Amino acid sequence: MTENELVSLYPRLWHMAHDGAWPALRDHGLRSAAAILDLYNVHGEERTRLLRVRRPQSVPIVARGLPGAVLRDQKPMDDGRLAGCLQDGLTPADWYENLNSLSFFWLSKSRIWKLLKARAYRNVPQTVLTLDTESLVNAHRDRIRLSPINSGATLFNPQPRGLGTFMSLADFPYAERARSRARENNVVELVVNHSVPDLVDHVLAVHRVRNNEILEEIWRRPGASSDEHP
């Protein structure tokens, strides 16, 4: 897959954050769980536990002089099912650590809405960011990878996953997969290694959403179309 194909087929990306997250994301960028712990100087056993063990609930992280941060829960994961679909000798702890080193984006509206309406999240407001794919790719192309599956879910029909799940654009077999898959099920996730410190440069709009309803518009880039929303 080429950059031009990615941008043409998936011109927008979406990210779901916890309610009230926009000021911190705007000022400090989007950080993976590992990058948050780097910034907040969390080490030792606590760091190992947070990065290599499933989080059944979101975990607040605090440090003097920094805004509050949240490590999102991993409710869609199940250790037993995860162990059953892992490849390449990986353990669940290895997979959690891998996921926790990445910043995640969805490539289709249908998938972000499916997540928003999931039982674990439908009754709690969420912050949803709409981003320009081309802008993000231009800034972070060397650290971007694509996934053909929802890598953070195993509750329903868990797909095999391993060292080759996150692929470079050049290695992603889009055309081959397109023979049997709709666009939304072809490239499922776009990830950036570690963090996106310049996140605000790529965001077009920010909304507060609950279940299947947009509650309010939090921010919109000047000149951005009113169509920019989840």
Tokens of 195: 């963090």
> How confident is the model at residue 27, as a pLDDT?
93
Q: Sort strands 12-18 and 126-132 into parallel, antiparallel or unpaired.
A: antiparallel
Q: What is the DSSP letter of 155?
A: S
| Chunked mean pLDDT (size 10), the chain, 230 residues | 98 97 95 97 97 97 91 96 98 98 97 93 96 98 97 94 98 97 97 98 98 97 97
Tokens of 10: 């998936």
SS3 assignment, position 229: coil
Distances, alpha carbon 184 to alpha carbons 45, 92, 200, in Å:
39, 27, 25
User: How many whole angstroms from its chain centre is CA 111?
Assistant: 11
> How confident is the model at residue 156, as a pLDDT?
87
Residue 104 phi/psi, 5-degree rounding, is -110, 145
CB 1 within 8 A of CB 106: no
